[in-house]
Structures are given as structure tokens and as C-alpha cells.
Chains A and B, each alone.
Chain A
Amino acid sequence: MCQEANFNLGNDVMEAFKKFQETETSLTGKEILQILIKNAEIAQEEQAPMCQDTGFAVVFVELGQDVRIEGGNLEDAINEGVRQGYVEGYLRKSIVGHPLERKNTGDNTPAVIHTKIVPGDKLRIIVAPKGGGSENMSAIKMLRPADGVEGVKKFVVDTVKAAGPNPCPPVVVGVGIGGTFEKAALLAKEALLREIGSKSKYPDIAKLEEELLEEINKTGIGPQGLGGRTTALAVHIEIFAAHIASLPVAVNLNCHAARHKEIVL
């Protein structure tokens, strides 16, 4: 799964490249989108990583409550899978074991694992390798309820502007609104798993997604930050209930290599 996610860019992203090529006004911007399509084609053909940053293995697990795992520990099994995938697939080992000592673990483990218990007898696993460049440009802010939707919009657009060329635009913008500090961040990450261009199920949030995408694409940052009207391919927002005192907003940026692979067992 780690290898497939890194070698094969999803059709949704490819379609988005093509769609934005038509509306991009910068010639350089158009050219860059074409290069990204070509790069993804080469990666798929040669089964080579589309980007050298093959990411932190972020794994979402939905464990049906009727499932019983035997013969070992689920987290160990996931880490063993990541280890084999990255070593045997010639993927880059980008993880240091201690954030301050910074010695590489040599096999890209440990994975970041988010587990949810859900009804049913299935086990759903999503592997989303996350690049460091775009992760570094992500941000979270605890807004005041009085800041409202305008405050949310400003924070999201400001985060994309501050990131500029760094996160490899065109980006996918994952936004989490509500919950607590950590819940907002997780919602933003989950928003990145959605198919590019899919809409929120809440009409008001779907409208906000559309408005933000338009606003972000007016910044002029463009593909690779070299100027243009394609700064983001999509804005995805997930929401959750909030405390009467709080309006947390998290913005998780993803580069154009929006990779994920899913299986259901």
C-alpha cells in the first residue's frame, strides 16, 4: 500500500491538473501542470516514487467492533508493513526516531496511526504518505467565536499566502473547524483524504469550500509559486461541535502529490 500510494497518483488529482490547465492564465503555470502530469505518468510506468519525499506513513484504521485480531498487536503489524513497504520498495526513509537527537530510524517507522472503533466486522485501512514540505506550512489557531466565518476565511487564506511557493502548489487545503485543539488538527488531516473536488455534505460548508478555493486562487501564487491562478486544486472542510468559548481552525496543506491508498478487509 505504501508503494502503490507513492507510485500511482490518483485519477482525481490527474483530472484536477487537466481541469486547471484550461483555466490557468500563466503560460509557465500551464507548462508546470503539464510537467506534473508527465511526472505522474513516468512514476506509474516505471513504478517509481512520483516525489522523492515518500512521506511519513500516516495510517487511518477503522476497526469494526466485531473484529478480533489474533496472533499479535495491530500497531506492530502496521509498522512491520511500513518497514517492508519502504525498504523493499526503494522508498526514502525520512523518519528520525527522536525529534531533537534526529537519528534516522532507517526503515521509515514508526507510522502515525489513528484508530477508530466503528460498528461492523470489517477492518478499513487508509495509508496516506505525508510529505514534510507541505506539513511544515500547516497551521492551527484558536479563534474567538466572534471572529466567525470571516475570521475562518482570513486565517485559511493567510496560511496559504504565508506558505507561498514552499508547500509545492497547487496544493490541496484540508481545513478542520471546531472540536478541541487536537480534534481540529485531525479533522483537517481527514479532510485531505477526500476525493479532490468532492463537496462537504453540509450545504453551507460546501459553499464555504467553494468561496475559499476561489479566494485562494486569486492570490496569484500559482503553480510552484511562480505566478498564476492555480494555487489550490481543492479546499476540503470537516467540522465538529465546538465549546461555547472556542472556534478552533486547523489548516493542513498537502502538496499536489495528494497520495492515499485504501483497503477493506
Chain B
Amino acid sequence: MTQIRLTTPLTDEMVEKLRIGQQVLLNGTIYTGRDAAHKRLVELIKQGKELPFDPKGQVIYYVGPTPAKPGKVIGSCGPTTSYRMDPYAPELYAQGLKATIGKGKRSPEVIKALKQYKGVYFAAIGGAAALIAKSIKSAKVIAYEDLGAEAIHELVVEDFPVVVVNDVLGGDLYEEGIEIYAAK
């Protein structure tokens, strides 16, 4: 299968071309965040305050890595289940976020936000955490250190493999997969 290589920050034009089922190799800077960090980010947006990073054109990876062993950039770091971030994701896409990476289904509200604000949702392979760590070249905590594994990290990635699950047209790869492979 052909793979599309993209480098962050992502633009509307880059995102609009993506279709469900396409494999993408992500490069550049991305940010991590999960439940507790999202709660804080959305509180800041509601208060009109500045976020710890500018979400415009950016990508948030839903992950809580294991601690880095001495000499390593990061520990194991596969995706966490995305639906827990569904209550917060539309607000972040509205701020210019272009993509999120996780695993599992998104809510109708998130899928609608992807259409409205031109965004995509990527899946990484859940549980392939030792392998995924190899595409992460640097990692530093930029906010909420008190949250431990849930702190926001800035990652630099090289050919990080993901697949497009939801695109700007409202497509859903999970639905399509079941349609093709379910026994009739």
C-alpha cells in the first residue's frame, strides 16, 4: 500500500486530501495529551487563556508513555482509547488543531467537528508500543509535569506510522472494515 509522508504543522490543504484507509508517515513535532491534560486545556480555552502550545496546524497524540529507561528517549508509547477525549476534542479542533492520533471509535460530535474545522483522526496500532517508540526521536515535557505519564510531552517523530480513520468527508474506516469483512 502506498504511504503518504507528511510533516507538521499540517495545513487545510494537506488534511483535505487525506482519505480513510490511507497510511501516513508523520514527521516533525507533535504533542501528547490524555484525559487529565485535556480537561485542563479545555478549561483554559473556556477562560480565554493561552494554551501551553499553539494548537494551530498541530497534532495531539493520545498517549501516556512508560518512563524512559536511562539512555532512551522515551519508554513504550502506543495509543490510548480515544473516546475518552471526545468531550474535549471538538473545542481543540475549533482552535485549529488538525489531527489527533489514538485508537478506537470517535463520537458523532468529533466526526462533525472534523468536517466543520477540516481535521482528521488517525489510528496508531494499539499495543505496538515498543515498536512505535522507535519512531520517536526526542521527547520533553512542556506542561503539567505533576500529571506524570499524563503530562503534555512535545515529541519529534520520524516516519511515525498511522492510518486515516476519519476524514473531512465524514468517512469512517471502522464502519467500512466491518461492512467488508462481516460474514453475510
By a beta-carbon cutoff of 8 Å, the part of chain A in contact with chain B is 25-29, 32, 35-36, 38-40, 42-43, 46, 48-54, 90-94, 102, 104, 106, 132-133, 136, 164-168, 218-222, 224-229, 255-257
Contacts and interface: CB of A to CB of B under 8 A. Distances in A.
Contacts of B69: 48, 90
B133 A255 contact: no
A35 B125 contact: yes
B27 interface: no
Contacts of B129: 39, 49-52
Contact of B36 (A40, A93, A102, A106): A102
Contact of B130 (A28, A50, A164, A168): A50
Contacts of A28: 1
A109 B78 CA distance: 22
Contact of B182 (A49, A132, A219): A219
A52 B36 contact: no
Nearest to B181: A220
Interface string B126-143: 111111011000000000
Interface residues of B, number: 44
A32 B23 CA distance: 13
A54 B66 contact: yes
A51 B179 CA distance: 29
30 contacts: A28-B1, A29-B181, A39-B128, A39-B129, A42-B131, A43-B130, A48-B130, A49-B129, A90-B69, A90-B75, A92-B66, A92-B75, A93-B148, A133-B104, A133-B126, A164-B174, A165-B104, A165-B174, A166-B83, A166-B104, A168-B127, A218-B183, A220-B177, A222-B177, A226-B123, A226-B173, A228-B177, A255-B126, A255-B127, A257-B127
Contacts of B105: 164-166, 225
A54 B65 CA distance: 10
**What are the nearest 10 A-B pairs in CB distance?**
A227-B177, A220-B182, A220-B181, A218-B183, A166-B104, A168-B126, A43-B130, A39-B131, A220-B178, A39-B128
